[in-house]
Amino acid sequence: MPLQVYFKNSLVKVEIGLAKGKKLYDKRADIAKKDQRREAERDFKVRNLG
């Protein structure tokens, strides 16, 4: 993934970065957080409409 692009003398240089993917347990935790937030927003919307 390119992080920075710059010129040095007559050359163009690109600084790149590497990353690792998430582990399965990290993905599960993030999905659970998203579901909880989505349900809370849905409950809030229903209360305000009625």
Alpha helices in 1-50 (DSSP H): 24-49
What's the pLDDT at 48? 78
User: Mean pLDDT over all residues of the chain?
Assistant: 88
- Three-class DSSP category at 16: strand
13 CB-near residues (< 8 Å, 6+ apart): 5, 6, 7
Report whether pLDDT(36) > 70.
Answer: yes
Q: What pTM was estimated for this model as a whole?
A: 0.46
Q: How confident is the model at residue 45 (pLDDT cuts 50, 70, 90)?
A: confident
